Amino acid sequence: DTEVTQTPKHLVMGMTNKKSLKCEQHMGHRAMYWYKQKAKKPPELMFVYSYEKLSINESVPSRFSPECPNSSLLNLHLHALQPEDSALYLCASSQPGIGAYEQYFGPGTRLTVT
């Protein structure tokens, strides 16, 4: 199974709402990632979890809060977002470590902040 699943597919939220994005993989990968992608731009790394521990936080505002409950699951908790946070949020997984392992991406959650 080489699939990464993400829910929901679409999300519209107001600036005062709290919501969560979910990601799941069953490939045994021990590195999981959150990316933000704006239209016509490359994916922009937000967070990296390696062996369920946060290893990279690319200066992301605190209104984004990641969580890795176990090796298969990754959540992104959203609170008090701004309209400029509207984007496609992609989850990915790979093997951790220095080797050139590829990433497998989920279909993404298209987020609109009103």
The contacts of residue 22 (CB under 8 Å, 6+ apart) are 6, 7, 73, 74, 75
**At 40, phi and psi to the nearest 5?**
65, 25
Adjacent-strand bridge partners of 27: none
For another protein, the binding residues in 87-106 under the rule CB under 8 A are: 88, 90, 92, 94, 96-106
- Shortest distance (Å) from residue 67 CB to another protein: 18
- Shortest distance (Å) from residue 62 CB to another protein: 21
Site for another protein, rule CB under 8 A: 31, 33, 40-43, 45, 48, 50, 55-56, 88, 90, 92, 94, 96-108
